[in-house]
Amino acid sequence: MQELLRELGQLVLGSVPTMILFLILLGAYHFILYRPLVRVRAERYKRTKGAVERAMAAIAAADVKSQEYEAKLRAARAGIQHAREVQLQQWNAERESVLASARLLAQDRAEAARKEIAAQTEAARRQLQSGVGRLADQIMEAVLPAVESAR
């Protein structure tokens, strides 16, 4: 058994330079290959997935902006529609006011014309009544001389 332990000790002792060489090789791998590889992978991630994530974020921001734009557009259209309705109401009120004043003016003119016609009619009646007596006298003079001459 001792021999077995001695051989095992020689094997371990013989493997120490290999272990030291392995550790040096592992350190060199870490400094020469692993760190640059990690750096390149990080840069690649930043260029690819990072760019994709930034693009997704930009798309989300653009969606938010477009929603804000559409909300402002809807508000502007509603404002324009409201202003249009107010203008139409104002125009309708002005039209009704003009029509009412035109109706009043027409009624006043019609009333004035009725009064003038009534006055002219009354003047014509008076003229006719005053002329009836003269006309009767003229008819009598025209008829009576003919009746007297026939007798």
Q: Tell me: the pLDDT tens digits for 79-105?
A: 999 999 999 999 999 999 999 999 999
Q: Is the pLDDT at 25 greater than 90, yes or no?
A: yes
Mean model confidence pLDDT for the chain? 89
pTM of the full structure: 0.44
What is the model's pLDDT at position 46?
80
For the ranges 2-16, 68-82, 103-117, which has the lowest average pLDDT? Answer: 2-16
DSSP annotation string for the chain: -HHHHHHHHHHHHHHHHHHHHHHHHHHHHIIIIIHHHHHHHHHHHHHTHHHHHHHHHHHHHHHHHHHHHHHHHHHHHHHHHHHHHHHHHHHHHHHHHHHHHHHHHHHHHHHHHHHHHHHHHHHHHHHHHHHHHHHHHHHHHHHHHHHHHH-
